[in-house]
Structure 1
Amino acid sequence: MLALSWNVRGFGRREKWRAVRKSVYLLKLVMLFIQESKLGVFDNSVVRSLGGSLLTRGVGVKAEGSAGGLISLWNDDLFKVHSCISCKRCIILAGELTSLNKQVFFVMFMRPILKTKEDCRGILS
């Protein structure tokens, strides 16, 4: 299994989209975690554009203004998501790596993740 975490510092130019997609195919990624996407919208077209036919599922947290934005993409044949939690600053995936028959968690966040105790209760409830 190969996963990549990448702070792209914004998808403002096409070269960054191409570099990410090329890396997905060259490395034959199973999981991709992107920070600072700076995208205001996340939908299936983003999954198809970045993941192509390898990374077929995803979840995203849109940017707040001109900062932030998280994207998690995965190969649905090799990682089965059982639970997904996302909020303004984090994505938590719980699932099974099918080739290893192992239950795992992946957590991705932007700082500061929690400002108050209420933020924590909202994520974990």
Structure 2
Amino acid sequence: MKIITYNIRGLGRGLKWALIRKLVKKERADMLCLQETKREVIDKKVCQALWGDSDASWELQPACNSAGGLLCIWNEETFKLENKLIGNGSIYLEGIWLTDGGKVMIVNIYLSCICQRMQDEGIIKEFNEWIADLEFEDVPCVG
């Protein structure tokens, strides 16, 4: 299971797309999670250009006024989506990792520094407790 997560700081065009596609290919990634796309709409053409293949599915949490925005793209041959929850600043994906049949839950989160300061501390504490209760396994980072 290879997952690339990257704060892109604006999806832009051309050069960034090519760099992402090259990274996905080089690392043979199964999933790509981008934060801060700064785009309200992302279509199939954009996802295929980023992923470098048409055998991909994706979920989007749109940016708001060119701020934030999340995108998850994955290989349909390695991950089968069973459930999803798109929230304010998060994409939750639940499914089967087809290479070993294991059930996985993946959360892509982005919350800007300004929003973090504005958030009620109780909400942050509640979220941290929710994460702890789920006993998520922290996947080691490589690279």
Q: Sort the TM-score into its range (normalised by shorter chain).
A: 0.7 to 0.9
User: Is the contact between residue 29 and residue 54 of structure 1 (CA under 8 Å) also seen in structure 2?
Assistant: no
Q: Would you tell me which structure has more helix in proportion to its own residues?
A: 2
Alignment gaps of 5+ in structure 2: 128-143
- TM-score of the aligned structures, taking structure 2 as reference length: 0.74
Identity, in percent, stands at 31
Residue identity in the other structure for 2:19: A
Q: Distance in 2 between matches of 1:12 and 1:45?
A: 14
In structure 1, C-alpha distance between the alignment counterparts of 2:19 and 2:101, rounded to whole Å: 31
Contact between 1:55 and 1:73, CA under 8 Å: does it hold in 2? no
Residue pair 1:30, 1:54 contacting (<8 A) in 2 also: no
Contact 2:48 2:54 in 1 (8 A): no
Partner of 1:22: 22
User: What is the Cα deviation at residue 54 of structure 1?
Assistant: 6.8
- What is the alpha-carbon distance in structure 2 between the residues aligned to residue 55 and residue 68 of structure 1? 26
Aligned positions, number? 118
* Structure 1 segments unaligned to the other structure (5+ residues): 121-125
- Which amino acid is 1:20 matched to? I
Per-residue deviation, 1:35: 0.3
Tell me the amino acid that sits aligned with residue 77 of structure 1.
Answer: E
Q: C-alpha distance in 2, partners of 1:51/1:11?
A: 13
C-alpha RMSD over aligned residues:
2.1
Once residues 45 and 99 of structure 2 are traced to their aligned partners in structure 1, the CA distance between those partners, rounded to angstroms, is 27
